[in-house]
A and B are shown apart, each in its own frame.
Chain A
Amino acid sequence: MWLIMTSLAAIIATIVWYVKAPEDKYKLGLLSLMFWGASLMWLVDHVMAYLTERGAFFEIDLDATFLGVAVIILALLVWEIVLLVSDPKGVLKRVLKREKLP
């Protein structure tokens, strides 16, 4: 289930990146590449497990769904931290400047 959810997130992130391209102010390229990296790795893992163990290709249950949600949350969290640290709109800089004013 987490493979399906991560792949879907990768596709959506890539579409949004393409719509906004060539500008990548909000680092959507980073987000989509993170999701694609994980999707590819899990695809290999699933294929190899299927070939060797011959079980179900996708694990579809509540636990796998929660894992998929947790994976997407972690990726979004990392992307948001990178975005806030790089601060492409200069929002934090402006907020901190305002705080400094008497």
Chain B
Amino acid sequence: MACFLVPAGEAIVTTVVQKVMENKDKKDVGEKVDVIGLKWSRRLSWLNKMLWGGTMLLALEHVWHREVVPWPPFLTAMENPGDVAPMLHEIATVGVAMAVTVTAVWGIMVLIAELKTKSISLVEEAPVSGGE
């Protein structure tokens, strides 16, 4: 009905956080602070791309199924008072579950990337001597 509104809300928040982080990273570069591994702004850009992409494509699905219309109140469930409670229930269950799942997958992606970065820097710090 309107489950994509939760990931959309999260996407707005994480986009603002990413912009703040980008400014902080630029400041750090100006002050020549060494950053090892991935920057938070880059990590957050992965989450933003997933959230915005998912929200946009889900919005199309809702328009296709006539659950979202281009005229007020935009959500067809809002036209009938009896449909408002199920819509809010769907937002609270499916919408939240969508946002949590995407964020959890992103968390796993960041964790794997961090572990990979650490293993690469460890190999570079202590090269294995071998041969002959």
A residues touching B (Cβ–Cβ < 8 Å)? Answer: 2, 6, 29-30, 33-38, 40-45, 48, 67, 70-71, 74-75, 78
- A interface secondary structure, majority: helix
- B interface secondary structure, majority: helix
Q: Which 4 pairs between the two chains have the least Cβ-Cβ distance?
A: A34-B53, A37-B54, A37-B50, A33-B49
* A37, A40, A48 pick with most chain B CB within 10 angstroms: A37
Count residues of B near A (Cβ-Cβ below 8 Å): 24
Nearest CB of B to A59, in Å? 11
- Chain B residues 28 to 80 lying within 8 A of chain A, measured CB to CB, are 46, 49-58, 60-61, 64
Query: Hey, which chain B residues are within 8 Å of A43, CB to CB?
Result: 101
B residues touching A (Cβ–Cβ < 8 Å)? Answer: 3-4, 7, 46, 49-58, 60-61, 64, 93-94, 97-98, 101-102, 105
